[in-house]
Amino acid sequence: MLSILDARAVYNMGTLSHEEWHKRALARLKQATGVDVSIHEDATPIVAEVNDNRWTVMCGCGSGNAVDVPSATARCGSCGAFHSHVILPANRAEIEGILVRRPRSENRNWKPTEPADSLRAENIQHGLEAG
């Protein structure tokens, strides 16, 4: 079944935990740039959105980060932030069900201000099942 991707799929983590992936990503950043970035928690609530078939949040540093949906967290591979309070929509399954009707991943986008009915209307407008 098609679904909107989360951090595990986006970053191809395999058996790695999200935390271990984060440590390795920052180690690669240090090796490539010489910049030593440490992991730090950012408990500020941050609202998730769907961008190009991926659950994401925008870090305060400007980097887009994939969301680990099961834990509702995100980790920044640029500044080291651990976003411990990601807000996913209560109707996440409904939103995903509508978006996956779109054949092209780059058309699977959703902003928190966008009602599910608007997504359905877009699908119908483009000759797709409403979802």
Q: Is residue 131 in some structural domain?
A: no
pLDDT (mean) for 111-123: 97
Instruction: List, for residues 76-95, the tens digit of each pLDDT value.
Output: 999 999 999 999 999 999 99
Q: Is residue 1 in some structural domain?
A: no
Q: Is residue 91 in some structural domain?
A: yes
Distance (Å, rounded) from C-alpha 117 to C-alpha 102? 15
- This prediction's pTM: 0.92
3-state SS string over 18-46? HHHHHHHHHHHHHHHHCCCCCCEEECCCE
Residue span of the structural domain in which 54 resides? 7-125
pLDDT (mean) for 16-33: 93
**Residues 6 and 66: beta-carbon distance below 8 Å:** yes
How many folded domains does the chain comprise? 1
Instruction: List, for residues 40-68, the tens digit of each pLDDT value.
Output: 999 999 999 999 999 999 999 999 999 99
Q: Is residue 130 in some structural domain?
A: no
- pLDDT, residue 43, reads 97
